[in-house]
Amino acid sequence: MTSFISYDNAGGTTQHPNTIASFLDPGRKESILVNLPTISNHNQIKQPLLQVFPNPASHQVNVDFVNIQPQFLQVKNALGQTVFEQNDPSPPLEINVAHLPVGVYYLVLREEQGSIAKKIVVY
């Protein structure tokens, strides 16, 4: 929905909400209107949330996520090699990391729109 402010040659105005600008060409009876769409509520935008805890971890990593619909989850080592993979994951997840060598890993959730990654430290 858009709206505007209009001006008449007699100096009268009519205000319409959500207008960015309105210009009157002097000597003419017409306005040039610049409108923006109305954004009703910023809370309607759902932000993805990925939580990995504890981090650093030595035995198990818990994974929870909201507003993400991943097709699969991977844990990759610092060389990019996949050390764990699960198709169609759903939260909450528990991933055993006790068998992994000490180091830095990346938990990657892949969905149609892209990927979300978190660094995991195993000690």
- Quick one: average pLDDT of 78-103? 96
Q: Residue 97's closest CA among 87, 89, 106?
A: 106
Q: What is the pLDDT of residue 21?
A: 47
Q: 60-82: per-residue pLDDT in tens?
A: 999 999 999 999 999 999 999 99
Integer Cα distance of 18 and 5 in angstroms: 9
- Quick one: average pLDDT of 36-57? 76
* pLDDT(31) > 90: no
* pLDDT(12) > 50: yes
For 58-97, the three-class secondary structure string (H helix, E strand, C coil) is CCEEEEEEECCCCCEEEEEECCCCEEEEEECCCCCEEEEC
Q: What is the pLDDT of residue 27?
A: 57
Q: What is the pLDDT of residue 46?
A: 79
CB atoms within 10 A of CB 14: 10
- Three-state DSSP at 8 gives coil
- What domains are there in the chain, each with its CATH number? 6-35 (no CATH), 50-122 (2.60.40.3080)
Phi, psi of 91 (to 5 degrees): -75, 160
* CA dist list (Å): 43 to 21, 38, 40, 65: 26, 14, 9, 18
The whole model's pTM is what? 0.63
Phi, psi of 42 (to 5 degrees): -65, -20
- Quick one: average pLDDT of 74-102? 97
